[in-house]
């Protein structure tokens, strides 16, 4: 009875594996995020680095379980049910394949080279000896409910941006950046809320709309329906609304212009001192 059930599990396992990597490239890409040719090349590379079949678990099945876990972000118990394996077996062979994949870094990862002086593309000639662009990596976090607005990204996820610094930049750690607040207010500093991320222009326009709304309420309170010298309420409200909006916008533009002028003069003075 036990022997027949083991054979039945083995046959079902081979049938499921064949449905992924044996029928079509479409099914293989949907399940493993690579076609059958790429899957075969990866298995040959891992075999050359020492990955071997173990007992009834073939090398292709090990790689298939590894890729299926990464592609769909599923747990060991889910993979175990689909491949009729214990969770401990799935975890052990996942780590084994991962260890061999990490040893392929010299084959799979390409070392960037500096941009030469005689580069053919005109767009890259200006970036002589440049290796690439710096970019951070977003890592998801589990933070208290009160701190979630600080870590909410523009896509609505709770994460933090991690950028590894160069060893020569250690002297700049914990140093204040001159005029950061003024630069951030002028050129944009994100303001995270529970729903989305706002820049200074959005915050300023929201405050402007609130002030205009308050002015409209004051005008409606002061207006008298018995007055015959003033225009109708609708005309008076529309005219006051447009005039108040224009005044607020012009005032905001003047403040931005004054801030930019002060910033330019500050930089000019610092350059003269140096």
Digit-coded pLDDT (tens) for 40-99: 999 999 999 899 998 878 999 999 999 999 999 899 999 999 898 999 999 999 999 999
Residue 230 has pLDDT above 70, yes or no: no
Residue 248 has pLDDT above 70, yes or no: no
Determine the pLDDT at residue 184.
Answer: 54
Residue 29's nearest CA partner among 78, 72, 77, 60 is 72
Determine the pLDDT at residue 224.
Answer: 45
For the chain, the structural domain boundaries read 2-108, 133-175, 197-273
114 Cβ contact partners less than 8 Å away, ≥ 6 residues apart: 128, 129, 130, 131
Determine the pLDDT at residue 46.
Answer: 94
Determine the pLDDT at residue 189.
Answer: 46
Alpha carbon distance 184, 116 (integer Å) = 35
The residue count for the chain: 274
How much of the chain exceeds pLDDT 70, in percent? 58
Place of tokens 């891992």: 46
The better pLDDT of the pair 1, 44 is held by 44
Determine the pLDDT at residue 213.
Answer: 65
Question: What are residue 197's DSSP bridge partners?
Answer: 192
Structure tokens given for 123? 């767009």
The better pLDDT of the pair 216, 194 is held by 216
Structure tokens given for 179? 């005029």
Average per-residue pLDDT in the chain?
Answer: 75
How much of the chain exceeds pLDDT 90, in percent? 26
Alpha carbon distance 265, 131 (integer Å) = 35
The arithmetic mean of pLDDT across residues 127-136, rounded, is 69
């Amino acid at each position: 009875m036990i022997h027949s059930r083991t054979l039945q599990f083995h046959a079902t396992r081979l049938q499921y594996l064949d449905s992924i990597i044996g029928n079509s490239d479409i099914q293989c890409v949907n399940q493993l995020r690579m076609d059958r040719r790429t899957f075969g090349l990866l298995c040959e590379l891992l075999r050359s680095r020492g990955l071997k079949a173990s007992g009834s678990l073939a090398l292709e099945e090990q790689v298939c379980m590894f890729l299926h876990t990464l592609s769909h972000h599923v747990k060991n118990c889910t993979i175990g049910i689909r491949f009729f394996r214990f969770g401990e077996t799935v975890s052990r062979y996942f780590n084994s394949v991962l260890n061999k994949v990490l040893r392929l870094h010299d084959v799979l990862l390409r070392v960037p080279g500096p941009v030469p002086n005689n580069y053919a593309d005109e767009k890259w000639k200006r970036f002589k000896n440049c290796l690439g662009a710096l970019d951070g990596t977003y890592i998801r976090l589990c933070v208290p409910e009160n701190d979630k607005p600080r870590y909410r990204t523009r896509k609505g996820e709770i994460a933090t941006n991690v950028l590894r610094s160069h060893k020569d930049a250690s002297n700049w750690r914990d140093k204040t950046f001159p005029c950061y607040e003024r630069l951030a207010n002028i050129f944009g500093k994100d303001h995270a809320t529970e729903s989305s991320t706002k820049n200074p222009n959005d915050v300023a326009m929201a405050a402007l709309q609130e002030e205009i709304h308050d002015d409209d309420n004051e005008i409606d309170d002061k207006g008298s329906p018995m007055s015959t010298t003033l225009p109708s309420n609708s005309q008076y409200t529309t005219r006051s609304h447009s005039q108040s909006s224009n005044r607020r916008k012009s005032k905001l533009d003047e403040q931005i212009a004054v801030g930019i002028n002060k910033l330019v003069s500050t930089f000019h003075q610092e350059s003269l001192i140096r």
